[in-house]
Amino acid sequence: MNMYKEGLPTLGEAHMILEEATQLNPGPWVQHSIYTAQAAQIIADNCKELDSEKAYILGMLHDIGRRAAYRGRIVQAGRWRVHQMHNSLVR
């Protein structure tokens, strides 16, 4: 891993992160994350000041806190990181 150069994982790293999260807590949230990534990319494709790949990565990881579930309750521990990274979306 590149240790999140620019505070953001690469696309490949993001896929690995989501795959690991899927193994820890499978569920419909995973497909939702892919749909969100696709929607974010489409939006960014239509906004010249946004980076489409970064939008896709952030969309994919927006619910990554769901990777840790405890007795059916979602722990949001990872969400802060994605919110922290959102500034890197703008070029």
Q: Is residue 4, in this structure, part of any structural domain at all?
A: no
Q: Is residue 58, in this structure, part of any structural domain at all?
A: yes
The H-assigned helical ranges of the chain are: 11-24, 28-45, 52-61, 79-85
- CA separation for the pair 38, 1 (Å, rounded): 23
Residues of the chain with pLDDT under 50: 1, 70-80, 91
Question: What is the Cα gyration radius of the chain?
Answer: 13
Q: Is residue 19, in this structure, part of any structural domain at all?
A: no
How many structural domains is the chain composed of?
1
Q: Is residue 57, in this structure, part of any structural domain at all?
A: yes
pTM: 0.70
Q: Is residue 38, in this structure, part of any structural domain at all?
A: yes
pLDDT of residue 2: 52
Expressed as residue numbers, the domain containing 43 is 28-89
Residue 72 φ/ψ, nearest 5 degrees: 80, -5
Q: Is residue 17, in this structure, part of any structural domain at all?
A: no
Q: Is residue 60, in this structure, part of any structural domain at all?
A: yes
